Amino acid sequence: MLEIAFAKPALPSSGAVVLLATENAKPVGLWKQVDDATGGSVSRALEAASFSWSKGKTLTILAPGAGLSRVVAVGLGKADAITPLAAEEAGGHIAAAMGTVPAIAVCADVFAHKPALAAHLALGATLRAYRFDRYRTKEKAEDKPKLAKATVMLADHAKAKTEYAPMRAVAEGVFITRDLVSEPPNVLNPPEMANRIKKLSSLGLKISVFGPKEMEKFGFGCLLGVARGSAVEPRMVVMEWHGASGGDKGAEKGGAKGAKKSAGKPRPVAFIGKGVTFDTGGISIKPAGGMEDMKWDMAGAGTVVGLMAALAGRKAKVDAVGLVGLVENMPSGTAQRPGDVVTSASGQTVEVINTDAEGRLVLADVLWYCQHHYDPQFMVDLATLTGAIIISLGHEHAGLFSNDEDLAQKLTAAGRETGEKLWRMPLGDAYDRQIRSDIADMKNVGGRPGGSITAAQFIQRFVNGKPWAHLDIAGTAWATKDSACIPKGATAFGVRLLDRMVAEHFEG
Ligand code: BES
Ligand code: MN
Ligand code: ZN
């Protein structure tokens, strides 16, 4: 992870310097010092390039003098429009422009009166500097990105440092998610993912892992039906963070009882993730083209894991529980067939019309378990659930489905603030009728029309009217091009959004 330091503004005698300013700003402070020290070559270069400091623009000036290797100008746009998100994006642009430089000094005088924005800038740079390179063995040293340390300079550096501490924990959570989602599917199968999650107990999370024997006892017929075709066993992993109740173990396993015992204590908030470590489609097998993308069909689960790590890492004052259903969806002689009828933990039966609609089957059992063991304030599930949501919303918004106006509003707002945008989709009885079955309580697909909505209707049948939201992240979990704070690949969409919602509404 990019090492961040905050310090008083001081003219460096070597290395790379970043100048940050808003449109039409005049050289002041450290910017002026750099310009004077280089005999005005910085202002001449800015002039020659007609650099206007508009948002997202960068200009690199090589060897300007005064011993500096480069000066990079980064535009912030209009002064009154610098939101935390805009500061993060500026940080991301800095990291991108500095690929081959080992250390940078960032002149952040412009945030003199808003030191929190300097912390957001550091977060953005950190998020962009991420790279998953575990499996590159032949890359030449000179081709590797080198940025390792950024010193952000502003008068109130102490305040910026304090603000950054929890953000760093969130960035660590984001990286845990990105690492999990990036791993190839031969490495990251359900038992391996469960093992990696277990290691997070070092953060103070209480982790429980369940295998097929326990799932059999819980009556997880839907999840086990998906797992049947695979040579590797499924897992459910439950992560508890007791940040509001501290050492009190009231909400432990068998927590419905626990919740009653400790009256007056807030009930936990709950996050549930789809963790299909590879989705071939099963017997309803997918076409070959692009099937490798289905390694990231566990992104919902990966996001829940990173979120729980973030909450624990920044010692959030909340009781939270994260549950992930981990399975591999494979075709084989033992795989479930189209036409099979399975019985969920809720007792409801499901006719499996299409074995490729497996995510909803996994979520159905895990959601049921969650409400019975934890009686949470609300449940938010995350899943790369449908290709149809990509048709509806592209890669700009994740689909939000909810039976609770207040929860939907809080999620939407947190999404806007973190840049992990959500768009509310409808639910309704007419859609629900599409998943009626002639032989069982429901079928697992509702036909082509409204495919993301009928998937959500299916899940809603397992939440018992409790406050719930479903985020369909099929279009946002993986990026095919770089953006300000997200290098292409696993995005960890949802970690920052849900962390923000918890911070704003469910702590203290
Ligand atoms: N994992 C897929 C959805 C998906 C598609 C995620 C593309 C990311 C990118 C899911 O399990 C699936 O296969 N859904 C089917 C449902 C259909 C059979 C009703 C789909 O979207 O085609
Ligand atoms: Mn599928
Ligand atoms: Zn899937």
DSSP per-residue string spanning 5-28: EEE-----SSEEEEEEE-TTPPP-
200 and 146 in a common domain = no
Which is nearest to 482 in space by CA: 55, 92, 176? 92
494 and 365 in a common domain = yes
More confident residue, 441 or 145: 441
230 Rama class: left (phi>0) / alpha (psi -120 to 50) / beta = beta
Residues by chain with Cβ below 5 Å of ion ligand 2: 279, 356, 358
Task: Indicate if 496 belongs to the active site.
Answer: no
Order of strands, sheet of 149-153, starting from the edge strand that comes earlier in the sequence? 3-7, 149-153, 103-107, 15-21, 68-75, 58-65
Point out the catalytic residue in the list 235, 274, 295, 360: 360
452 and 495 in a common domain = yes
Which is nearest to 323 in space by CA: 356, 371, 355, 279? 371
What's the token pair of residue 370?
């969650």
Report CA(243)–ligand 3 centroid distance (Å): 33
The answer to whether residue 171 sits within a structural domain is: no
pLDDT at 263: 55
Give the SS3 label for residue 132. coil
Among candidate residues 129, 158, 187, the one where a domain is terminated: 158
190 and 149 in a common domain = no
Long-range contacts of 386-392 (CB under 8 A, 24+ apart): 386/451, 386/452, 386/455, 386/472, 386/474, 387/451, 387/474, 388/450, 388/451, 388/452, 388/455, 389/452, 389/472, 389/474, 389/475, 390/474, 390/475, 392/425, 392/452
- Pocket, ligand 1, Cβ cutoff 6 A: 279, 293, 297, 354, 356-359, 384-388, 445, 451, 474
Please write the tens of the pLDDT for every residue from 384-428: 999 999 999 999 999 999 999 999 999 999 999 999 999 999 999
Which secondary structure element, helix H or strand E, spans residue 215, and what is its range?
helix 212-218
Report CA(479)–ligand 1 centroid distance (Å): 17
Side chain identity at residue 166, one-letter code: P
426 and 341 in a common domain = yes
| CATH label of the domain that carries residue 47 | 3.40.220.10
Query: Could you give the CA distance from residue 354 to residue 137 in angstroms, rounded to a whole number?
Result: 40
| CATH label of the domain that carries residue 208 | 3.40.630.10
pLDDT at 250: 41
Mean pLDDT across 476-503: 98
Residues whose CB is less than 8 angstroms from the CB of residue 90 and which lie 6 or more positions away in sequence, other chains included? 20, 74, 76, 121, 124
206 and 71 in a common domain = no
Which pTM value belongs to this model?
A: 0.96
Report CA(198)–ligand 2 centroid distance (Å): 27
Provide the angle, in degrees to the nearest 10, between the axes of the packed helices 495-505 and 299-313.
Answer: 40
Which is nearest to 24 in space by CA: 112, 110, 153, 152? 110
Answer yes or no: is pLDDT of 312 > 70.
Answer: yes
Point out the catalytic residue in the list 159, 249, 286, 421: 286
The answer to whether residue 135 sits within a structural domain is: yes
Residues whose CB is less than 8 angstroms from the CB of residue 272 and which lie 6 or more positions away in sequence, other chains included? 300, 304, 322, 323, 324, 325, 363, 366, 367, 370, 379, 380, 381, 382
What's the token pair of residue 49?
């390039």
Report CA(120)–ligand 3 centroid distance (Å): 34
Residue with tokens 């397992």: 462
Instruction: Give the closest ligand to the alpha carbon of residue 275.
Output: 3
DSSP secondary-structure letter at 135?
A: T
Q: Report the domain count for the chain.
A: 2
Which is nearest to 165 in space by CA: 117, 119, 203? 119
Which secondary structure element, helix H or strand E, spans residue 279, and what is its range?
strand 269-279
Answer yes or no: is pLDDT of 254 > 50.
Answer: no
Please write the tens of the pLDDT for every residue from 80-138: 889 999 999 999 999 999 878 999 999 999 999 999 999 999 999 999 999 999 999 99
For strands 379-383 and 349-351, give the pairing.
unpaired
Residues whose CB is less than 8 angstroms from the CB of residue 475 and which lie 6 or more positions away in sequence, other chains included? 389, 390, 393, 394, 395, 396, 397, 398, 399
What's the token pair of residue 446?
């509702």
273 and 419 in a common domain = yes
Which secondary structure element, helix H or strand E, spans residue 198, and what is its range?
helix 190-198
197 and 56 in a common domain = no
Give the count of alpha carbons within 13 A of 304, CB side only.
Answer: 34
Ligand 1 atom, smallest distance to 384 CA: 6
Nearest Cα residue to atom 3 of ligand 1: 386
The answer to whether residue 309 sits within a structural domain is: yes
Lowest mean pLDDT segment, chosen from 3-12, 260-269, 355-364, 436-445:
260-269
Alpha carbon separation from 205 to 173, 308, 494 (Å, rounded): 13, 8, 19
DSSP secondary-structure letter at 347?
A: S
Task: Indicate if 228 belongs to the active site.
Answer: no
Answer yes or no: is pLDDT of 247 > 60.
Answer: no
Instruction: Give the closest ligand to the alpha carbon of residue 292.
Output: 1
137 and 213 in a common domain = no
Provide the residue range defining the domain that includes 447: 176-505
% of the chain with per-residue pLDDT over 70: 96
103 and 33 in a common domain = yes
Query: Could you give the CA distance from residue 382 to residue 272 in angstroms, rounded to a whole number?
Result: 6
Contact 276, 246 (CB under 8 A): no
